[in-house]
Amino acid sequence: MKSVLVLYYSRGGHTARISRAVAEQIESSGNRCTVMHISEATKSGLDWSQYDCVALGACVLYGSYDKSVFAFASEHQAALDSLPNSFYSVNVVARKPEKRIPENNKYLQKFIELSPWKPKDVKVIAGKVDYPSWRWWDRLAIQMIMKMTDGPTDPKSVIDYTDWDDVKVYADHLVSLAK
């Protein structure tokens, strides 16, 4: 039995949902999985030696990741590097299949460039447009970005672009990385 640690940063809740789905798949295959927000991991601390693999996931907003993601990766770089590891980027630009390819996803590439931690494995997961749940200024800014990229702009739109079957495949992949 393998033990996988899934850490994430989520602003609106979708990356948290993806992370829980990863954990559910890992556990359904008879393995153990701990899933937690990076703020919880920072507060409670982690015994990294309990895990055979670690995945860190984060969402993109306004073209970047929250600064806490970079701070966490920097602070825990040695621990992350001590295990087989993966980084998953959740972003709406990945609604286009060619942007799910790591080399074609500028947000994932930006993380790799800016983070002191260089993940051994990476994954791009398409996110969710949820205009009704966003603050008005976020909605307007994202609508403008979507207009420029031929995305949905209807303020009532709720579109989940996540390929949930691929999320399960990624979870199985994490187990295969475990030492």
Task: Provide the CATH number for the domain around residue 67.
Answer: 3.40.50.360
Domain count, the chain: 2
Give yes or no: residues 49 and 59 share one domain. yes
Residues of the chain scoring pLDDT < 70: none
Question: What is the structure's pLDDT at 61?
Answer: 86
Indicate the pTM of the whole model: 0.94
Q: How many angstroms separate the CA atoms of 170 and 31, rounded?
A: 14
Residues 36-75 have pLDDT tens digits of 999 999 999 999 999 999 999 999 988 899 999 999 999 9
Give yes or no: residues 95 and 110 share one domain. yes
Q: What is the span of the domain harbouring residue 136? A: 129-161
**What 3 state SS string does the chain have?**
CCEEEEEEECCCCHHHHHHHHHHHHHHHCCCEEEEEEHHHHHHHCCCHHHCCEEEEEEECECCECCHHHHHHHHHCHHHHHCCCEEEEEEEHHHHCHHHHCHHHCHHHHHHHHHCCCCCCCEEEEECEEEHHHCCHHHHHHHHHHHHHCCCCCCCCCEEECCCHHHHHHHHHHHHHHCC
- Residue 54 near residue 91, CB atoms below 8 Å: no
Question: What is the structure's pLDDT at 179?
Answer: 81
Question: What is the structure's pLDDT at 8?
Answer: 98
Compute the radius of gyration of the chain from its Cα atoms.
16
Question: What is the structure's pLDDT at 100?
Answer: 96
Give yes or no: residues 150 and 167 share one domain. no
Question: What is the structure's pLDDT at 34?
Answer: 98
